[in-house]
Amino acid sequence: MAMEPQRLMRLATVASTSVALTLVGAKAVAWVVTDSVSMLSSLVDTSLDLVGSLVTFFAVRLALTPADADHRFGHGKAEALAGLVQAGFIAASGCALLFAVAERFNAPKQVREEDVGLMISALALVLTIGLVTFQRYVVRHTGSIAIGADVAHYGTDLVATLVTGIGLFLSGLLDQPLIDSSVAGFVALYLLHGSWKVGRDSLDILMDRELPEEDRRRIDEIARQNPGVKGIHELRTRSGGLTRFIQLHIEVDRNLSLLSGHEIGRRVQGEIAKAFPGAEIILHVDPSPAS
């Protein structure tokens, strides 16, 4: 039996927070032991994941709060606000990490005990792959913006961990500390790229961006397929958390009775609801223009 979207989202926030706590502790130990700036970059990335997971933990619970007298459209935009906050954290940390990399380039240091770093990197890869796989499953079944932002974070962490492990291995093998610093620089730039993507997606929700053009075409097609519909106009769409909002006007024969026109509108609304489960649909029935 499929799990409810709300329960899936809550479970995903608990899983991400637990994994982040484990990885922060493990990578902190690895950084102290190895004195590797690339391990520091991976630790920074994972620490951001922890902060992001905590923000998501509370944001998802607020977003799932039912609509009330003061928030008639619900609290779904809390997810987008959480994504925007996370994007800010990621960007700030990416910039700070670039400064640390620049300092290490000026005064290179060879890593120590790279075997410890490699073991912890392997552990981090296993945990992160498992978490990202589960989170993507949750996003596919819920469309959650906040969980999607978390996936982006852990996706960067996955890349950072993999690259850090490679950097540690090559740095120790070739006795070249600049390899370690170069890897850290790559991770910092990757963080900045991730912050831009998460921030853009969150702003789309907060600014009531239209649903994808494919969805809008589907709505238009459904309405026009009904033989009683003479035209469609003022199609407006947006999303807020788990809920999509669809508004449109359909035109019916101006000579039809009010009851007949209402019945056509009811059928069209029902077909749209089947195609977009859970959507809030407002449909107006207008008389066709006089010929």
Question: What domains can be seen in the chain, in order of their start residue?
Answer: 5-206 (1.20.1510.10), 213-287 (3.30.70.1350)
Q: Which structure tokens are listed for 156?
A: 């960067």
3-state helix, strand, coil in the chain (%, to 5): 70, 10, 20
Q: How far apart are CA 21 and CA 14, in angstroms?
A: 11
Taking the CA atoms of residue 178, residue 183, residue 189 and residue 191 in that order, the dihedral angle to the nearest 10 degrees is -140
Beta-bridge partner residues of 237: 246
Is the pLDDT assigned to residue 245 strictly greater than 80? Answer: yes
Residue 143 buriedness (CB in 10 A; 0-12 / 13-18 / 19+): middle
Mean pLDDT of all residues in the chain?
79
Is the pLDDT assigned to residue 258 strictly greater than 70? Answer: yes
Query: Residues 146-172: pLDDT tens digits?
Result: 677 677 767 777 777 777 777 777 776
Is the pLDDT assigned to residue 140 strictly greater than 60? Answer: yes
> 0.85 cut: is pTM over it?
no
Q: How far apart are CA 199 and CA 274, in angstroms?
A: 31
On whether the CB atoms of residues 79 and 52 are closer than 8 A, the answer is no
Query: Residues 82-131: pLDDT tens digits?
Result: 777 777 777 777 776 677 667 667 766 666 667 777 888 888 889 989 98
Taking the CA atoms of residue 41, residue 42, residue 44 and residue 50 in that order, the dihedral angle to the nearest 10 degrees is 170
At 142 the pLDDT is 79
Q: How far apart are CA 285 and CA 291, in angstroms?
A: 18
